[in-house]
Structure 1
Amino acid sequence: MASAWKCSGVRWSAGGPVLVWDGGRSSVLHRGKRVAFEIAEGGVRTCAGARGHACPARAVVPGRSTGARCEECARLERAHSVAADTIADDPRPYHVYLAWFGPGLVKVGITAVERGSARLLEQGAVCFSRLGAGPLMAARRTEELLRAALRVPDRIPYADKRAVRSALPATAAERAAELGELHGRATALGGWPESLEREPFRPVDHAGVFGLAGLPAAVGEVSELVAGSVVSGELVAAAGPDLHLVTDGAVVVLDTRLMTGWELRPARGAGFTVPVREFRGPAGVQDGLF
C-alpha cells in the first residue's frame, strides 16, 4: 500500500459500490466498513484531468468543487459528453428512463443500453423504469418530448436527493407508484420517434442495494475537504457518490467527488475534522455537533 493514494471516485455495479484509486486499485464499500483517511498538512488539491489524461498544468482546484477540474479540463471533459448533447454519431443503442429519488423528485434521462443499471446507481436513483430503446438521437428527442410534456427535469440536485433519502416510503410498491403513473402518461403521448422501441413498466428498486431501510437522518454533509483534516466513520449507506457515515453517534454524508484531486493517507486515529454543513431538517435532529 502506497503512502498516499489518489481517489478516482465511486464506481457502481450490481454487486454494490467500489471506491476506485489511481493505478487501478479499488476498495469494496460494504455496510459496516470503517472509512478513514486524512489529508496531510500543507496538501493541495490538483485538477483530476480529462478523458483519462492528467492535467498538463497540474492546476490547483477549490476544495468545494465536485468536478475537481480546472476550466480547460472541464471544457475538454464536457466536449465528449453525451449528457452535454455534443455527440451525435454514437452508434450504440440508448435507453430512455424515468428515475425516482423521492416524492416529487422524478427525472427523465438516457443511458447506453450496454451500461445496464450502472448510470442509475451512479445517480442515486432509488427506483427507475425504462421507457424505450433506440438510436441516440431518437432517445434524445424522446427525452426532450417527455421533459416538456410531463414537466419533469433531466437533472435533480444532489442536495434535494439527500434531503429525502432517510424518509422514503417503506415498500417497493409505494416507491414505484409515482413512476408508474408517469410511465403511463409517457407511453400515451404521441410524437415518439418511430425508431425508438417502447418498453413496458418494469420498476427496478435500489433501496436494498443502497442500504436505505431504516437509514437514520443525516445531520449534515461534508462541504469540502481541507489540508490537515481527518475523516473517520462507519458506513451505513451509500447512494450514488454519497457515503452516509456514522461518526460521534450522528450520520454525516460525504460526497466522494470531493475526495478526487487530494493525496489521501490512512487515518492514524479517529476523528472527523472536515467542515460540515448542517441540514435544517425535521424537529428532533440535533444541532451543533460540529
Structure 2
Amino acid sequence: MGWRCAGLRWGGGRPAVGWYGEGRGERSSALVYGQWLAFAGVGARGCLGVRRSGRWTPCPTGAEVPGRAGGGQCAECARLDRSFSVAADTHVADPRPYRVYLAWFGPGLVKVGITAEERGPARLLEQGAVTWSWLGRGPLMAARRTEELLRAALGVPDRIAYGRKRAVRGSLPPAAERAAEVAELHARAGGLAGWPESLERLPCEAVDHAGAFGLDGLPRPRRVLAELADGAVVAGRLAGAAGPDLHLQDGLVVDTRLLAGWELVAVASPEQAVTTAPVREIRPEGDGGQDGLF
C-alpha cells in the first residue's frame, strides 16, 4: 500500500497535507500560498483506520470508503473513533485541563467550544475560526458545563456547518469589526451568573487568523469539490486555507476531508492541468447543510 492522504493538518500556524502509510507511519507536505496544485486520485478510497495517542491502527477489514463520505474512515472505524471522544462525551474522565473559547467565522457565525489546553490554538485553526478568544480554563466537566451555559444564555451554537463558514470567507468585514463582535460577546459571557467555581475566567484577547489563512484578497468561493474518483484531477493555484478547506485562485474550494483515504499522484505540468473531479456550486448564504460535526 502506498501513502494515503490523511487530510489537512495545522502545525505552527501553517497548513500541511498529512499522509499515512500502513507500516510506514506518517509524514506531511507543507503548503505555500501561491503554489500550483495538480493531483489525481488513484485506485479506490481506503479506510485509514483509527488514530489515537498519535498512532494509527489500521482498519481490520481494509474497507473501502464512499467518495462523498466526509472523512477517510469506514463506519466501524468511525464508531470506534467516537467511542473515545471528548466531543461525543464518551471520555468524561479526561484529567487534562481544558479551555473554553469563543470563535467567530463570519457575521453572525459565532460558536462556543472547548479544547484541551495542551493543544493551544490548533482546534481553532482546524475549525477555520477567523477571530477568536479564550473565555476560561479548568477541568473538563467544568469547561463542558460552561460551554452549555454560554450556548444557552448567549444564543450561540456549539457547531456551525462547514458550508456556511466557507461561503462567507471571500467577503469578511475588517479585522477591527471582527474583534469588536468577539469582545462584545466575551463581555456578555463574563456578565453571566452560574459559571462553575472551578473554572478560571480569562480576559478577552482577540486573535485573528486572516494571515494564517491567507484571507486578504481571497477569491470568493464559488464551487466546492463534491468527491474524488480514480483518475479525477484537481488543479489550481493555492490562494489560502482554513480549517479543512483549500481555496484555489479560481474560486474552487477543496474540502480535504474528501481527500482522506485516497492515494494521490502529482499531475505533470500543473499550470496547464484542469479540474475534472465533480464539483458543486456554493450559494452565497452557504449550503445550509450540516456537513460535519464542527
Aligned partners of 2:234, 2:111: CA distance in 1, in Å? 32
Query: Which residue of 7, 17, 20 maps to 2:18?
Result: 20
1:123 aligns to what?
127
TM-score (norm 1): 0.91
Q: CA deviation at 1:245?
A: 1.2
Could you say what secondary structure the match of 2:251 adopts?
A: strand
For the 8 Å contact 2:103–2:130, the answer to whether it is kept is yes
Q: CA RMSD in A?
A: 1.4
For the 8 Å contact 1:5–1:265, the answer to whether it is kept is no
Query: Which residue of 86, 98, 101 maps to 2:102?
Result: 98
1:194 aligns to what?
197
For the 8 Å contact 2:10–2:122, the answer to whether it is kept is yes
Q: CA deviation at 1:274?
A: 0.4
* Residue type at the aligned position of 1:240: G
Q: Deviations over 1:12-51 (max 9, x none)?
A: 12341111111322111110112221123xx211112113
* Residue type at the aligned position of 1:122: E
Aligned partners of 2:193, 2:284: CA distance in 1, in Å? 42
Q: CA deviation at 1:5?
A: 2.9
* Residue type at the aligned position of 1:153: P
Gaps of 5+ in 1: 283-290
Distance 1:261 1:75, change over 3 A: same
Aligned partners of 1:102, 1:226: CA distance in 2, in Å? 32
1:163 aligns to what?
167
* Residue type at the aligned position of 2:194: G
For the 8 Å contact 2:169–2:221, the answer to whether it is kept is no
Aligned partners of 1:84, 1:111: CA distance in 2, in Å? 13
Could you say what secondary structure the match of 2:178 adopts?
A: helix
Could you say what secondary structure the match of 1:47 adopts?
A: coil
For the 8 Å contact 2:38–2:236, the answer to whether it is kept is yes
Q: CA deviation at 1:178?
A: 1.4
Aligned partners of 2:263, 2:157: CA distance in 1, in Å? 36
Aligned partners of 2:283, 2:243: CA distance in 1, in Å? 22
Deviation above 4 Å: which 4+ runs of structure 1? none
Aligned partners of 1:39, 1:9: CA distance in 2, in Å? 14
Q: CA deviation at 1:81?
A: 0.9
How many residue pairs match? The answer is 274
> Residues 127-276 of structure 1 correspond to what in structure 2 (within 5 A)?
127-170=131-174, 172-246=175-249, 250-269=250-269, 270-276=273-279
Aligned partners of 2:26, 2:76: CA distance in 1, in Å? 25
Out of 188-197 and 19-28, give the one that drifted further.
19-28
Could you say what secondary structure the match of 1:195 adopts?
A: coil
TM-score (norm 2): 0.90
Gaps of 5+ in 2: 286-294
Aligned partners of 2:114, 2:198: CA distance in 1, in Å? 15
